[in-house]
Amino acid sequence: MKREKKFTKHFDLSHSIMYHDYPHIYTKNIDVPGEFVKKINRRVHLKDGTGGEMDSAYIAKPDNKILFEVVAVGLEHQSKPVDPFKLTKFGDYDIQMVSDENLPTLLAVASHLNPKKSENILIRSPSDITQLYFLDLGKENICQRLNRVKEIINNNKKLSDEDALDLGIILLYAPREHAYEITYTIVDLYLKVVNDLDLKMEKCLYSVITILTDAYIDDEKEYRRLTNMIDNKTSQEVKSLFEAHKATLDTLKWKEEDLAEANQNLAEKQEELAETSQNLAEKQEELVEANDTITRLKKENQMLKEQLNAK
């Protein structure tokens, strides 16, 4: 039986969880140039007068390989190709970071998709150019990660935080044609190591794996079977933290929807006001012309009277 999806932004949410909990490790693991220093403002003022948010924004120090100076990084997760509309938003993000930080910028795109499917350069003027930096998270990269982590876990080797977080990264960036099988593999690996994870990593991986299992598994019976297996091995504390977090996200989603509706209403009112202002300006021009005509006619009338009196 097909099941109704509980989340609408499975992929962006999973990206946000790993970035929020382990920004140093996550950005390093997915090979964003530079080294994470600190998070910065994500809020953006868009050209249409509304507000938006980058998925993640931070300061990175140079790695002396690709980056040779401190930069402001906008890291975006994309589950769809970057189209011209999204590219324009990236341009707004770029402008916002320059305004906030007064630093060079790097806009990195994390996606399982082939970069050739996306728009990647926005030219606003000869000196104002935004070019996207696509990370290599394609099929070959993800298969290599999966084989490496499987070897570590199946041979009972020590699992570092970097290795553990790769479980979430592999599932998030799984080739979509193999996501179903990879979900089963990641769940199996998680069940083998969950008792050895500290609480923070357990919560992070439980959240990401639960959310992405929801995304990839359509059959209700299979979904329930997998999530029951995950829940039975996960600590009650982590499950409680996840439920509280999910409730907060649902509340934020409603708030965002209300805000989006309010912004839409505001935009419509602004359009109406602009139209009214335009009409008013036209009426004022007509009034000025009418006044000029009246003044001219008065002068002509006065001149005519003077001419008649002179006769």
Task: List CB contacts of 274: < 8 A, sequence separation 6 or more.
Answer: none
Is the model more confident about 208 or about 283?
208
pTM: predicted TM-score of the whole model, two decimal places? 0.76
The residue among 242, 162, 244, 252 whose CA lies nearest residue 210 is 242
Question: 76 — phi, psi (to 5°)?
Answer: -115, 135
pLDDT digits (tens, 9 = 90+) for 64-120: 999 999 999 999 999 899 999 899 999 999 999 999 999 999 999 999 998 888 988
Mean of the pLDDT values across residues 124-129? 81
Alpha carbon of 176 to those of 106, 152, 213, 268: distances in Å? 27, 25, 13, 39
Q: What are phi and psi of 279, to 5 degrees?
A: -60, -40
Q: What is the rounded distance in angstroms from the CA atom of residue 12 to the CA atom of residue 214?
A: 14
Q: Write the single-letter amino acid at 90.
A: F
